[in-house]
Amino acid sequence: MSFSALGLSPAVLLAASKKSYITPTPVQAEVIPAVLWGEDILAQAQTGSGKTAAYVLPLLHLMTTDSSKALILVPTRELAVQVGNEIKGLLAALGKMTRPIKLGTVFGGVAINPQMMQLRGGADVLVATPGRLLDLIDKNAVRPEFFNTLVLDEADRLLDMGFAAEINRILALLPAKRQSLFFSATFPDDVNALATGILNNPTRVMIASTETTQPDILQRAVFVDAGRRADVLAHLIKENAGQRMLVFVASKHGSEQLANTLYAKGINAAPFHGEFSQGRRNQVLAEFKSGSLQVVVATDLAGRGIDIDGLPFVVNYDLPRSPVDYTHRIGRTGRNGASGTAISLISAATEAHFRLIENRLNIRLNREVLAGFEARLTSMPAVVNTGGVKGVRMSKKDKLRAAAARAEQENQ
């Protein structure tokens, strides 16, 4: 199938071809026609599946044919920049083939006045994080009643980051009659509840569950004493010299501490967390993308919006809090058809917590032991296939194990 079979206008098709959109991904093939027909969308698609273009291309088609205006809500400033840049590139490719389409990209962590200036006269498509959008609405710089299309991108992360109240306030300000497009990699209960409240008889597109659309990610679990994780990580980095690694940790302090430890071992590493200024974030990402920086040590909040083409490795130095976070973390690699490797460092204290993640995701990884880094505190746990996913509720014993695992991570 080609994009020409999906109903897009000749101008948008030409712009898409200039930006090397040749063959639609599965999510694009299903979402684009439904958006053009005016339907609400409920789409489950993994990161790297092409979901941004799945909504951007038909929205640009609608904007070139009528006065449609779209609001795109995203959880992080990095994702806002990423989506904004994708739209900017397509608008440049459209050139003078259509009426002018004004793009706005706004997020917190930077001065608000330049963004207010940018939005003078309104915007046809606005990419925004919820908090900054509400700040601009309060200052009368944005008129939410003019948007007739709403996109929630990475809805699960929006809720996980505590934006539920902001989203509900924004929804109350938007026109009741609108088209709503809802994208999420996972669908926990709170995401399902939000989708039910805002979507009208949506077209359901469930891509993530099919094996053929799973990203090509090799998942590994390395068993090591907690106190030797930094040594194991340094070994893995040097073993894959010249290849970039995105390393996830649990806290800002952990990000700074581990980056300093790696730097002292002769590894070009930098921390990356939510308290960085936008300028410093941009600098770290630019150096990481160019390859001048080999390792970035990130928290979940900062790392969520990182989109690096061809990123070969993701490492869970501290385990994620939940299966949802695990899915989002490893989704930083294996994007856009590339392959990647995700490595989780497991200790005796975190083994039970990782088992919970495996059970929820219905996976089971062999525990590897690297030569020279054999665990001294305990033998490697046996890996037993329990035959599927455990129930949603954690047992009292599992809760205690998970709490102990989190406490062990925080004390490292």
Q: Which two tokens stand for residue 256?
A: 């700074």
> Could you tell me if 161 and 131 are in contact, meaning their C-beta atoms sit under 8 angstroms apart?
no
Instruction: Note if the pTM is more than 0.85.
Output: no
CB pairs under 8 A, 24+ apart, for 139-143?
Answer: 139/112, 141/115, 141/116
E strands along 110-176, which residues?
A: 125-128, 149-152
| Burial degree of 65 (CB within 10 A; 0-12, 13-18, 19+) | middle
Distances, alpha carbon 257 to alpha carbons 14, 124, 189, 287, 314, in Å: 49, 44, 35, 20, 18
CATH class of 215-410: alpha beta
> How many angstroms separate the CA atoms of 110 and 224, rounded?
41
Closest C-alpha among 295, 205, 200 to residue 243: 295
Indicate if 215-410 has the same CATH topology as 3-211: yes
Longest dimension (CA), the chain: 67
E strands along 25-159, which residues?
A: 41-44, 70-73, 103-106, 125-128, 149-152
The residues near 192 (Cβ < 8 Å, ≥ 6 apart) are none
> Could you tell me if 60 and 27 are in contact, meaning their C-beta atoms sit under 8 angstroms apart?
no
> Could you tell me if 163 and 130 are in contact, meaning their C-beta atoms sit under 8 angstroms apart?
yes
Binning the chain into helix, strand and coil, the percentages to the nearest 5 are: 45, 15, 40
Distances, alpha carbon 236 to alpha carbons 175, 239, 241, 299, in Å: 52, 5, 9, 20
**Phi, psi (rounded to 5 degrees) for 314:** -125, 135
CB neighbourhood size of 63 (10 A): 22
> How many angstroms separate the CA atoms of 230 and 236, rounded?
10
> How many angstroms separate the CA atoms of 205 and 321, rounded?
27
Closest C-alpha among 91, 89, 87, 131 to residue 105: 87
> How many angstroms separate the CA atoms of 87 and 80, rounded?
11
| pLDDT tens, per residue, the chain with 412 residues | 788 899 999 999 999 899 888 889 889 999 999 999 999 999 987 666 788 999 999 999 999 877 789 999 998 888 898 899 999 999 999 887 878 899 999 999 889 999 999 999 899 999 999 999 999 999 999 999 999 999 999 888 888 777 889 999 999 999 999 999 999 887 878 888 888 888 999 999 987 544 444 668 899 999 999 999 999 999 999 999 889 999 999 999 999 999 999 999 999 999 998 788 878 888 888 899 888 899 999 988 756 667 777 889 999 999 998 887 888 888 888 876 678 899 999 999 999 999 999 998 888 999 999 998 887 755 555 443 333 333 334 444 444 444 554 444 444 4
> How many angstroms separate the CA atoms of 391 and 389, rounded?
7
The residues spanned by each domain of the chain are 3-211, 215-410
The architecture in CATH of the region 3-211 reads 3-Layer(aba) Sandwich (3.40)
